[in-house]
Amino acid sequence: MARFKELAELFEELEKITSHKEIVRKLAGFFEGLKGNEVRDSAYLFLGSIGPAFENTTLGIKDRLAIRAIAGAYGVPEEEVIRKYAREGDLGDVAFVLSEKREASLTIEDVFERLRQIKEASGKGSQEEKTGLLSDILQKATPEEGKYIVRLVLGRLRLGFGDQFLLEAFSIAFTGDKKHAGKIKESYSVCTDIGKLAKTLAEHGARTPGNFSIKPGRPVKSMLSQRVESFEELEKRVQGKKAAEEKYDGERIQVHKDGDWIKAFSRRLEDITAQYPDIIEAVKKSVTVDKIVLDGEIVAYAELEKDGNRIEKFYPFQRLMQRRRKYEIEKYREKCPVAVFFFDILYLNGESLLKKPYPERRALLEMHVAVQGIVHLARRTITENIEEIEDFFNETVEKGLEGIVVKSMSSGSVYEAGKRSWFWFKWKQEYSEGMRETFDLVVVGSYYGRGRRRGSFGALLCAVLNEEEQRFETLTKVGTGFTEADAEEINSLLSAHIASEAPKNVSIKKGMLPDIFIEPTVVIEVLGSEITNSPGHTAGEGKEETGLALRFPRFLRIRYDRGPYDATTVKEIRDLKDGA
């Protein structure tokens, strides 16, 4: 059985490597030497987790409990651990310093199982149980092992790469050739459990990709829309009949039903069932079919009476975010009423519908979802006439919606999980107002504020994702659009991700160095008016290409529903500039 010490030593190596190819090579070499559940467990651990994103994998240990466990493991007072923590800045490093040298005996399975036990400890006395379980395994660990066990428990592994590196490594390790990476990535968009995918690849090699299907309980990655520059381009892109659907300013949701069992997942594949009990109750009433998976959008919404007429009131995304909470759910259920607008069906009674064309999927959606209460279907119009689509767009804007999504009605209009598909195109209000685009940017640094912003940030350094290198490259500094409440909330979010130096997966030029470096975690939506060449930024920079910058950026909102690897990409930025 593989020793955890070998994994810990690889963690140490990977922290220092910046080359994409070298990281993938090291990962592939490690996976080649594993068998059975070691493959699955290691895949999770490389991402700092003990399971897929759609499972609750929080271990329930924060600094206070970790300090107590470290003190107990190494027989020192808690005050000494706290002093060393203040000096080292990392509790994993504190464990390394305090640990005695010993022979490695822990296996990957030992550590993984212990992390599972820590997670599952619940109820009265669970904090003491969690502390004891962590303390016990630290006593058995080498200094290197202890360092990374503590980081894993606290969710602070921070190796500087995401799941795409693992998928490339799987291709080399389990199929013998990197050329299969594309198919493996497609499989991962459907089988979003990276541990299961890794184990299946280890067992079946190149035959694995394409064999996975959607099923209730395991969400697929959402299909996304392409951008267009004008209605004229829209007409060229979508020939013949097209459906224009309302685009809602809410939270993407995937609802899975299997009998009375119903779960809701976010675009980031997180289980958000507990946050929307009203949606779950409503789906039980309006969907009578046994097994189904639905794609839709939750919005802050109310139906009002005015002069005897029913009026729909759509509230901004920020209001909906009040519902993203663990406590006081019933209070905020009343304070912030919501509705769900379904626009697609992905699975029905044992059959995947991902390969069915959009018109067929929409017909099935209308057949099996009853519009009642807070359950709705996305309103749409079907036409070949672009002027009618413009009229429909204007109607949506008057209602306070974001805009429209125009969808192909062709026989090939399948659901492309995880892709920004050429079958869907979005057109938002900002485009019609002359503003170029909204961007989902990752915060990678901050600059000290002055005047009324003293003690907070004055501007945020923001980056886009270079998909090929899986690296974040700076695009702009954002200093406008923040309310005091926004600034307070952002400061709170960023405080947990401060880094002592530029993270290795972030590219920043010397002249753009921020006062504070931030691990790429928090995503914000930014409105901008123009993309220009810039020698000061690294976005899209290459041998024959200068960097790109976003002019006149303005903060719109925090995107809790986006992770760093969901950010706007360098390719999208380059395409927008070239199409201008």
As annotated, the active-site residues are 247
Judge whether 245 and 405 are in contact, CB under 8 Å: yes
Report d(CA 369, CA 485) in Å as an integer.
39
Task: Enter the tokens of residue 131.
Answer: 């502390």
Q: How many helices (H) and strands (E) does the chain have?
A: 21, 22
Taking the CB of residue 303, how many other CB atoms lie within 10 A of it? 11
β-bridge pairing 523-528 and 437-448: antiparallel
Judge whether 251 and 275 are in contact, CB under 8 Å: no
**How much of the chain is in helix, strand and coil states, percent to nearest 5?**
40, 25, 35
Q: Any idea what DSSP says for residue 130?
A: H
- 3-class state of residue 355 by DSSP: coil
End-to-end C-alpha distance for the chain, whole angstroms: 57
Q: Which residues pair with 342 in a beta bridge?
A: 296, 377
Return the sign of the alpha-carbon dihedral for residues 125, 131, 133, 135.
negative
Judge whether 197 and 218 are in contact, CB under 8 Å: no
Task: Enter the tokens of residue 300.
Answer: 């802050």
Report d(CA 214, CA 269) in Å as an integer.
13
Among 116, 86, 104, 84, which Cα is nearest to 146's?
104
Report d(CA 112, CA 187) in Å as an integer.
25
